[in-house]
């Protein structure tokens, strides 16, 4: 490819990681970090995080330094960037570095606590994870974290929260989602409310699903981007089963590829 954009890099890293070829993935880093290259965004970093976390287990020498170089090259670091590097260090043998990064975060929110705790659990450091969980509870962190989905459109960066009511495009998003839902139901879609554990009626459960953040983000991208372009979304929580089905229906209806990186995928 003579011209490589950020999604080209992310796709290559993700494919090599899935093929369990971390050494080949890491061989891309010199070109990706070249002075005239594009600055990696959160999509690239999340893919790289999975590569270098696995590579640390293989004890490949400069991996942490390279990963941190990617992190440092991002001029505006959002919460997704921070959680990527924290969870990667926590899952590797670099526990003290993970704690140092955690303490350096500009926001002390539940997202970073979760990244650190789950990272320790996935690396087998159950005692550290349990101690951190108790500390988090002592500091009064709210266990109920709000769900949000994040999109990048050119230089524009947007986050959508579940049941968001004050977004400038709320009316357009609502109209589009209702039109898509009608089309989906004609194609056999039935809302899966099994994941809504609140004690309420079926209609109210379906309303909650309708306003999930990944649907708002997808509708926004459909409104703001050109037909045929790929839709990419990052969510801070696990993507629910119903939203997986909905986005597959939407992809088929609008004839556009939709990729969602949920919190469950982000940490694995």
pLDDT at residue number 206? 87
The full set of domain ranges for the chain reads 6-139, 148-262
pLDDT at residue number 46? 66
Q: How far apart are the first and last CA of the chain?
A: 29
Give the closest residue to 150 by CA, choosing from 136, 164, 139, 130: 164
Q: How many other CB atoms are found less than 10 A from the CB of residue 97? A: 17
Alpha-carbon distance 55 to 50, whole Å?
Answer: 9
Helix axes of 170-186 and 241-254: crossing angle, nearest 10 degrees: 90
Alpha-carbon distance 51 to 9, whole Å?
Answer: 13
pLDDT at residue number 175? 93
Q: Torsions phi, psi of 234, nearest 5?
A: -120, 130
Alpha-carbon distance 244 to 22, whole Å?
Answer: 28
Alpha-carbon distance 62 to 60, whole Å?
Answer: 6
Give the closest residue to 195 by CA, choosing from 264, 266, 115: 264
Burial class (CB in 10 A: 0-12, 13-18, 19+), 255: exposed
Q: What is the mean pLDDT of each run of 10 residues along the chain (268 residues)?
A: 79 79 79 70 67 54 63 68 73 72 70 75 75 77 67 78 77 92 93 75 86 91 91 82 90 92 47
pLDDT at residue number 172? 92
Tell me the torsion sign for CA atoms 32, 228, 46, 111. Answer: positive
Compute and round to an integer the Cα radius of gyration of the chain.
Answer: 19
């Amino acid at each position: 490819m003579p011209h490589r954009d950020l999604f080209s890099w992310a796709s290559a890293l993700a494919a090599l990681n899935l093929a369990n070829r971390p050494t080949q993935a890491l061989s891309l880093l010199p070109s990706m970090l070249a002075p005239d290259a594009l600055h990696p965004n959160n999509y690239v970093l999340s893919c790289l995080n999975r590569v270098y976390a696995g590579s640390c287990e293989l004890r490949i020498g400069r991996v942490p330094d390279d990963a941190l170089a990617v992190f440092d090259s991002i001029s505006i670091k959002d919460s997704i960037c921070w959680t990527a590097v924290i969870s990667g260090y926590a899952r590797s043998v670099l526990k003290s570095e993970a704690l140092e990064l955690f303490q350096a975060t500009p926001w002390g929110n539940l997202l970073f606590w979760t990244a650190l705790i789950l990272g320790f659990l996935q690396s087998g450091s159950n005692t550290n994870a349990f101690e951190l969980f108790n500390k988090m509870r002592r500091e009064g962190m709210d266990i109920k974290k709000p769900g949000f989905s994040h999109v990048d459109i050119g230089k524009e960066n947007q986050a959508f929260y579940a049941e968001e009511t004050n977004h400038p495009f709320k009316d357009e998003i609502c109209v589009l989602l209702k039109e898509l839902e009608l089309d989906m139901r004609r194609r056999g879609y039935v809302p899966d409310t099994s994941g809504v554990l609140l004690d309420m009626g079926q209609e109210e459960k379906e309303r909650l699903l309708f306003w999930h953040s990944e649907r708002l983000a997808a509708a926004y991208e459909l409104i703001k981007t050109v037909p045929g372009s790929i839709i990419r979304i990052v969510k801070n929580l696990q993507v629910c089963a119903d939203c997986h089905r909905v986005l597959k229906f939407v992809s088929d209806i609008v004839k556009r590829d939709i990729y969602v990186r949920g919190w469950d995928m982000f940490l694995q």
